[in-house]
Amino acid sequence: MKISNNLPNSRLINQNISHNKNNSPLELVKWMGGLQGQDFHGVKWSIALRLNQNNSLPDIENAFNDRSIIRTWPMRGTLFVIPAEDVRWMLQLCSPKNIKGALNRRKALELDDITLFRCYDEFTKALQGGKQLVRDEMYATLESAGISTAGQRGYHILWNSALKGIICQSGIKNNEQMFSLTEEWVPNPKILARDEALGLLAKRYFISHGPATLQDFIWWSGLSAGEAKIGHQSANNFLLSEKIADKTYYFSAETQSVNQKSCFVLPGFDEYILGYKDRADVLASAHAQKVCPGNNGVFIATIVINGAVAGTWKRTIKKNKLQVQLFPFDSFSINLIEMIGIAFKRYANYLKLEFNSSCISF
């Protein structure tokens, strides 16, 4: 099987965007290995669009509230949504490198080990017994103990405490995620030996994100090259490979290679864009700055046509109606605008909002 002519479509299928194979948020998140979670509102749509079209926002939020999926900082020390049961082995696998890489930042913020251990104690006292607190309440807990959260100190303390497995983002209150003690929110996490964890993470990545390169996996996971290679070798029995130009791509033996017309509207930070070190297979380099202006790390919501990023979009909500503004890279035909309208109708249904063609502007 050759995937070279249809690589973007193969990714749409494997990422469950064009072919919805999973029935629940937990099944989907487990299949993906994890989904970029920097934007909480966006990642909820990332999950929903990969499930059947009947899933609404409350359905996705229920998966956070029922403790099946959580948001924390595993791969690359970046926010991801992961299966709750996998939090322990993922953090044990990825956290040491992330914590070590932040030593200079800790010094700049004047956060020594003694201060951080005090923070762990304060969080434990404030949250034990199943309590949940929003971010401002977490900061207030530290301030009342005489620990400053000024500048970026508060965020770094939360980040470090999560990497240590002390806290995680859990249920939702007034559209904001709360924090809980990880050992209480996930009382029976899976425990894996390191090599087994490396293999499982690699298997999940290549099966769901493939066709992808080893460099893509190294970047996505944040693992060292040596560790990533161990994981890849363990997963290789489940994979096929194909060399395209000077790159070797790995993918599941069940990967389909098909020509199909499709249109999807993705949130910012979606795995279809961010799940790879090299995004040129789906995003032309001439347009990369339009998706991430100035390489500032903030990724804008995209319109994907036949597997290729064809533009960006912004939304506004007025009363009970969804309105969207499109920013195409090239002009859109009438037929294409109709396809885009159908894609946004699905998004509006997910939000339980009204939408029609008059809600689209340029």
Task: Tell me the C-alpha distance between 327 and 324, whole Å.
Answer: 10
Which of 185, 217, 240 delimits the end of a domain?
Answer: 185
Per-residue pLDDT, 257: 75
263 located within any domain: no
Per-residue pLDDT, 80: 98
All residues at 6 or more sequence positions from 241 whose CB lies less than 8 Å from its CB, including other chains = 248, 249, 250, 251
Per-residue pLDDT, 52: 85
216 located within any domain: no
The mean per-residue pLDDT over the stretch 164-193 comes to: 97
Band of residue 215 on the pLDDT scale cut at 50, 70, 90: very high
Which of 185, 209, 232 delimits the end of a domain?
Answer: 185
173 located within any domain: yes
* Residues 165 and 307 grouped into a single domain: no
63 located within any domain: yes
Band of residue 20 on the pLDDT scale cut at 50, 70, 90: confident
243 located within any domain: no
276 located within any domain: no
Per-residue pLDDT, 256: 82
pLDDT in tens, 316-347: 999 999 999 999 999 999 999 999 999 999 99
Which of 170, 185, 200 delimits the end of a domain?
Answer: 185
pLDDT in tens, 266-323: 999 999 999 999 999 999 999 999 999 988 889 999 999 999 999 999 999 999 999 9
- Domain ranges, residue 302: 283-361
Q: Is pLDDT above 70 for 4?
A: no
pLDDT in tens, 245-274: 899 999 998 888 778 899 999 999 999 999
Q: What is the mean pLDDT of the chain?
A: 96
Per-residue pLDDT, 250: 97
pLDDT in tens, 190-203: 999 999 999 999 99
Greatest pairwise CA separation for the chain in angstroms? 63
Task: Tell me the C-alpha distance between 3 and 244, whole Å.
Answer: 9
271 located within any domain: no
Q: Give me the sign of the Cα torsion angle 187, 193, 198, 204.
A: negative
The mean per-residue pLDDT over the stretch 228-239 comes to: 95
Domain count, the chain: 2
Neighbours of 254 (CB within 10 A): 10
206 located within any domain: no
* Residues 156 and 10 grouped into a single domain: yes
CA-based nearest residue to 338, from 309, 305, 314: 305
Q: Is pLDDT above 90 for 234?
A: yes
